[in-house]
Chains A and B, each alone.
Chain A
Amino acid sequence: MTFVSSTSPGQGRGRILNWFKWAIEPYIYLSPAILLIALVMLVPLVIGTSYAFQAISLLNPFESGWVGFANFEKLLADRFFWKALGNTFWWTLGSLFFQFFLGLGLALLLNKPFRGRGIVQGLVFLPWAVPAFLSGLNWAWLYNPIIGPIPHWLTALGLMSEPSNILADPNLAMIGPITANVWFGIPFFAITLLAALQSIPKDLYEAAAIDGASAWQSFIKITIPFLAPTIAITVMLRTIWIANFADLIYIMTGGGPANSTHIISSYIFTTAFRRLDFGYASTLAVALLLLLLAYALIILQMRKRLIKGF
């Protein structure tokens, strides 16, 4: 083949065919995906960012236009924004903490064979299949003193003087969506951590047992180091996901009572959906994006340090 002169027609066609094969063909397969993602996600992302610098309120159509950083000044002075920022922190931390540790516990329990493990696994993973809006409604009902048992249990335990709905108490309402989120999110961590646990070579434990290591020592020296990469990735992705997750709060409290349970994402949704103030909603969204970016950068930096440390 190499002896054929490059000007021969066959070779030329071959080159065009080759060029087609390597440069154009993949794009034929990709074009529907690229078009959709560009038109429905990336272009609106750019437009949405530009909304943050405009006054766009469907309720005041005549007062629209570019306003520079006015929306951001409004944001810094907005007491509900700061409240929502604090709530976002507690919501994310509280949900993540319980989801992770309860999920890890479940994964460790399921990692050892026992009779009926298949059925147990199916049952405990079931909340993951429940649509988010339904888990929200379900837990709101459980907390309702008329039809739910939880207020009555709390009263019986002496934690409540009479059965009342914690979702109506500005100081306690946040507990409601967090419980629903923990219930709904344990299976995710259990599934990913169980998968990671099952990929740890069994001989390591056998060797450790022969060398006289206790169960606790094998856990610290073998299990944790093997799980660490999975934990780092899942915790980071989950943090971002939970911080963005407005459904449960919108369903269970609608941000109330008295705006006490809004997190930034549910506040964005209410601003866009109820007040139709698209400009300010986009400003809030840009603020949330910047916070999440900062968080991701810090985590990645820490990870780099840790890796260098070894």
Chain B
Amino acid sequence: MTHSNPTRSVLRYAAIGLYVAFALFPLYWLLKIAITPDKLIYTTGTAFLPSAFTLDNFVSVIFLTDFLVYFKNSLLVSGGTAIFTTLVATSAGYAFSRFSFRGKAIIIAAMLITQMFPLLMIIAPIYKIMAGLKLLDSLWGLIIVYTAFNVPFATFLMQSFFDGIPKDLEDAAMIDGCTRFQALRKVVFPLTLPGLAATLGFIFTAAWSELLFALMLINSNDKMTFPVGLKTFVSKFAVDWGQMMAAGTLALIPSCLFFILIQRFLVKGLTAGAVKG
């Protein structure tokens, strides 16, 4: 489109370089402090390159702190939330995509409302309700709350995936004698697998990052999820810089793995959505 002008392309690459540096520098720093030996942090802590290399911080975080407990709790909560949310949202998204029925508009409106109000508005009532149900300080309590929080968004997501599958496919299967549920299971379900995977991943990372409700609802150390555990760790041992950053680096792994898997589809998926509607 534009003529390739050398000054302009140098500027472009410089701008791109700045963006990459800004995006990566904090993460680089996290890793750098994590691999610097503790006794050097105060002398060379702010030097750009690590002065020595050690994995001691990672070893002591994993084996001497409750890191593995937090990690396990977070895996259970995020995994449970992702699975339950996806099940519930798939079925609801299917209903929105394939049926027109009385009350549909009201239900969609109610779901949209849940996306608009400040979630902190319900932190006090949730605490009291969970206390009444004896679900305070329980991972199940967190899974239930997170599932409900994520169902509306996941439902709209799944609905858009179902909308992308031609209805004729199921109709043909139903004419051939399948019940609707069989058609769903044998024809539609295999086609939505990529959508299901994306939804699972989104919900998993959302639950993995949640901090405030987990702080409110969990108080014993052996039930803490990762954000709560790390926050407690930071307030208690505010000088173990190397260990804190090692823990932070480890906490990044699940979200980054997922992100690397989906990022190529991210823009494509949104482009398809934009063109359609």
Contacts and interface: CB of A to CB of B under 8 A. Distances in A.
Contacts of B128: 47, 278
A38 B2 CA distance: 55
B3 to A, nearest CB: 10
B148 A40 contact: yes
B46 A22 contact: no
Given A124-B20, A129-B259, A37 B209 contact: no
A266 to B, nearest CB: 9
A44 interface: yes
A132 B266 contact: no
B148 A37 contact: yes
A198 B123 CA distance: 40
Contact of B227 (A29, A133, A187): A133
Interface string B3-30: 0000000001101100110111011011
Contacts of A22: 99, 101
Nearest to B8: A215
B24 A148 contact: no
Name A's interface SS.
helix
Given A34-B107, A37-B148, A247-B211, A192 B22 contact: no
Contacts, number: 265
A29 to B, nearest CB: 4
Interface in A28-75: 29-30, 32-34, 36-45, 47-49, 51, 56
A33 B89 contact: yes
B144 A272 contact: no
B122 A123 contact: no
Contact of B215 (A114, A122, A230, A273): A273
A246 B121 CA distance: 12
B63 to A, nearest CB: 21
Size range of the chain B interface in the assembly: 35 or more
A199 B114 contact: no
B263 A122 contact: yes
Given A138-B29, A183-B26, A56 B209 contact: no
A93 interface: no
Contacts of A129: 205, 252, 255-256, 258-259
A41 B148 CA distance: 7
Interface string A239-282: 01000101100110000000000000100110011000010011
The dominant DSSP class at the B interface is helix
B117 interface: yes
A44 to B, nearest CB: 4
A285 interface: yes
Interface in A98-155: 102, 105-106, 109, 112, 114, 118, 120-135, 137-139, 141-142, 145-149, 152
Interface residues of A, number: 94
Contacts of A205: 1
Given A23-B101, A120-B20, A272 B270 contact: no
A39 B241 contact: no
Contacts of A175: none
B178 interface: no
Interface in B223-274: 227, 230-231, 234, 241, 244-245, 248, 251-252, 255-256, 258-260, 263-264, 266-267, 270-271, 273-274
Interface of A: 22-23, 25-27, 29-30, 32-34, 36-45, 47-49, 51, 56, 102, 105-106, 109, 112, 114, 118, 120-135, 137-139, 141-142, 145-149, 152, 183, 186-187, 191-192, 194-196, 198-199, 205-206, 209, 215, 230, 240, 244, 246-247, 250-251, 265, 268-269, 272-273, 278, 281-282, 285-286, 288-289, 292, 296
Interface of B: 1-2, 12-13, 15-16, 19-20, 22-24, 26-27, 29-30, 33, 41-42, 45-46, 48, 87-89, 91-92, 94-95, 99, 101-102, 104, 107, 110-111, 113-114, 116-129, 144-145, 147-149, 151-152, 155, 180, 205, 208-209, 211-212, 215-216, 227, 230-231, 234, 241, 244-245, 248, 251-252, 255-256, 258-260, 263-264, 266-267, 270-271, 273-275
25 contacts: A29-B99, A30-B92, A30-B107, A33-B88, A36-B88, A37-B148, A37-B151, A38-B110, A45-B117, A56-B124, A123-B20, A126-B24, A128-B259, A132-B211, A133-B227, A134-B252, A137-B234, A137-B248, A138-B30, A196-B274, A240-B116, A246-B120, A272-B120, A282-B121, A289-B117
